[in-house]
């Protein structure tokens, strides 16, 4: 049996939620859980199923940082770029991670191991700068701690 397309998966998930437009965020979470990301091809299918415009669906996908439009690497490293983290050296950590991985924020390393993402507050302002790797929050980041996280991730 062939794999379902992104459009079919999106339609099935929308139907499981009763094709209710007020469930768009939950539907998008389920699409991302099923496919690993929310592919562009799923947007028109969801828009049609939920009687929304493509712009409305696309706007939600791009507004919330938890949704991604392309597959992530095996590990996801999020570095906080909010003011408290910036004031404690967070931007230097971003530059270091970009240099070590050879990618800019929002991209995945060539080997597919690590996706580097900016995040604009992890709620750890008192222990800035902070990061999150694979859902695990790390405060008081230093260059050495960043290097250790990247090494754990195989980068």
Ranges of H-type helices in 64-142:
83-87, 90-101
Ranges of H-type helices in the chain:
6-16, 24-35, 42-50, 54-63, 83-87, 90-101, 143-152
Q: What percent of the chain has pLDDT over 70?
A: 99
Q: Are residues 40 and 80 in the same domain?
A: no
2 confidence band (pLDDT: 50, 70, 90): low
Q: Are residues 51 and 81 in the same domain?
A: no
Give the pLDDT of residue 54: 98
- The Cα-based distances of 70 to 35, 42, 89, 96, 120 in angstroms read 10, 12, 29, 24, 20
- Domain of 104: which CATH number? 3.40.30.10
Q: Are residues 84 and 142 in the same domain?
A: yes
- State which residues form the domain around 92: 75-152
Give the pLDDT of residue 155: 81
Mean pLDDT of 77-86: 96
| pLDDT above 60 (res 1) | no
Domains in the chain: how many in total?
Answer: 2
Q: Are residues 85 and 127 in the same domain?
A: yes
Model confidence, pTM? 0.81
Q: Are residues 26 and 94 in the same domain?
A: no
Q: Is residue 68 part of a domain?
A: no
Considering 35, 63, 91, which residue would you say is the last residue of a domain?
63
Q: Are residues 79 and 144 in the same domain?
A: yes
Q: What is the pLDDT of residues 11-39, one digit of tens each?
A: 999 999 999 999 999 999 999 999 999 99
């Amino acid at each position: 049996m062939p794999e379902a397309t992104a459009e079919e998966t999106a339609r099935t998930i929308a139907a499981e939620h009763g094709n209710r437009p007020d469930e768009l965020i939950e539907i998008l979470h389920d699409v991302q859980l099923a496919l690993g990301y929310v592919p562009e091809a799923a947007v028109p299918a969801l828009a049609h199923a939920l009687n929304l415009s493509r712009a409305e669906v696309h706007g939600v996908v791009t507004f919330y940082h938890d949704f991604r439009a392309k597959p992530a690497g095996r590990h996801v490293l999020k570095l906080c770029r909010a003011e408290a983290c910036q004031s404690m050296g967070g931007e230097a950590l971003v530059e270091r991670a970009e240099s070590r991985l050879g990618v800019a924020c929002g991209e995945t390393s060539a080997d597919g191991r690590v996706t580097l993402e900016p995040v604009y507050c992890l709620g750890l302002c008192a222990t800035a700068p902070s990061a999150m790797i694979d859902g695990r929050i790390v405060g008081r980041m230093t260059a050495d701690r960043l290097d250790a996280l990247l090494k754990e991730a195989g980068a």
